[in-house]
Amino acid sequence: MNKKSAKQFFVRNIVITFALQFFKTMEIKTATFVISNTDVRKCPQDSRTEFAFIGRSNVGKSSLINMLCNQNKLAMTSSTPGKTQLINHFLINNEWYLVDLPGYGYAKIGKQGKENLKKIIENYILQRENLTSIFVLFDCRLEPQKIDLEFIRWLGEEGVPFAIVFTKADKLSTGKLNANIETYKNKLLEEWEELPPIFVTSSETRAGKEDVLNYIETILK
Ligand SMILES: Nc1nc2c(ncn2[C@@H]2O[C@H](COP(=O)(O)OP(=O)(O)OP(=O)(O)O)[C@@H](O)[C@H]2O)c(=O)[nH]1
Ligand SMILES: [Mg+2]
């Protein structure tokens, strides 16, 4: 290698190293369970930023948290809907929180049960000052669900920022997945001027992990 090309090689390596640093996905080094409760006033009393996961029961909220944190059993999951009934705080890298919320719309808990959960969720969302952004999860296999559209309409009315995460992407072919997401986007554009950030994930294949973590990182910065 002559002197000129050695210099070029050196400069190129520096540029690549910087670029990799810049685009490197944030790593979750530690994730620990802190507290579960039904009362927003009993959530951790510090000012760390937090991100919450919400969506219909069984959509994959707890699984997604586990996937993001590289753990299997941090958040409790179940094939039976209605597993998460509490507000669960997980401390990440000792710096910020991920919050697993109960699912909405689970018929078997009865009218009173649904009302109770709705109140827990609403109080948390409206009163929790640490809450910076909510991820609303939609099952990518389903057509737009009334209950989901109503929920994000309510978030909009309350001025709560949110992003949409399509879950269980491994369950569909790429063609069907893209078609379903397109249908969803068109449905949203009927009443929303702008689309929120949208992510496509699978807790099985870990698809979408970097996108979600990068988004969280930009907000934390
Ligand atoms: N194939 C596949 N299955 C998933 C995925 N995410 C979740 N599941 C499954 O879906 C079921 C529900 O997952 P959970 O993570 O418990 O769902 P949840 O939204 O937390 O449910 P609740 O706490 O009951 O509201 C479990 O059987 C998971 O294994 C995914 O990305 N792909
Ligand atoms: Mg759950």
Cβ–ligand 1 contact at 105 (below 6 Å): no
Q: Residue 202: pLDDT band by 50, 70, 90 thresholds? A: very high
Cβ–ligand 1 contact at 88 (below 6 Å): no
pLDDT tens digits, one per residue of 29-47: 999 999 999 999 999 999 9
pLDDT tens digits, one per residue of 109-168: 778 888 888 999 999 999 999 999 999 999 999 999 999 999 999 999 999 999 999 999
Domains of the chain: 27-220 (3.40.50.300)
Q: 70 alpha carbon to ligand 2 midpoint, in Å?
A: 16
Q: What is the pLDDT of residue 10?
A: 61
Mean pLDDT across the chain: 90
For a mutational test of ligand 1's pocket, the pick from 166, 203, 212, i.e. the residue with the most ligand atoms closer than 8 A to its C-beta, is 203
CA atoms within 13 A on the CB side of 173: 2
Cβ–ligand 1 contact at 45 (below 6 Å): no
Q: What is the pLDDT of residue 148?
A: 96
**For the CA of 65, the nearest ligand:** 1
Q: What is the pLDDT of residue 5?
A: 57
Q: Which two tokens stand for residue 170?
A: 């491994």
Q: Which CA distances in Å does 205 have to 56, 84, 170, 214?
A: 21, 23, 7, 18
Instruction: Kindly report the protein residue whose alpha carbon is nearest to atom 27 of ligand 1.
Output: 79
Instruction: Kindly report the protein residue whose alpha carbon is nearest to atom 23 of ligand 1.
Output: 84
**CA nearest neighbour of 121 among 77, 56, 62:** 56
- More confident site: 85 or 165: 165
Q: What is the pLDDT of residue 157?
A: 96
Q: What is the pLDDT of residue 81?
A: 83
Instruction: Kindly report the protein residue whose alpha carbon is nearest to atom 8 of ligand 1.
Output: 60
- The two most distant CA atoms of the chain are separated, in Å, by 78
Average pLDDT of span 161-190: 98
Instruction: Kindly report the protein residue whose alpha carbon is nearest to atom 29 of ligand 1.
Output: 79
Cβ–ligand 1 contact at 85 (below 6 Å): no
b/e code 1-25 from CB counts within 10 Å (16+ = b): eeeeeeeeeeeeeeeeeeeeeeeee
Residues of the chain with pLDDT > 70, as a percent, come to 89
Q: What is the pTM of this model?
A: 0.89
Residues of the chain with pLDDT > 90, as a percent, come to 76
CA distance 86 to 38: 5
Q: 165 alpha carbon to ligand 1 midpoint, in Å?
A: 13
Contacts of 168 (CB under 8 A, 6+ apart): 59, 60, 139, 140, 141, 202, 203, 204
Q: What is the pLDDT of residue 17?
A: 53
Q: What is the pLDDT of residue 22?
A: 56
**CA nearest neighbour of 124 among 66, 64, 84:** 84
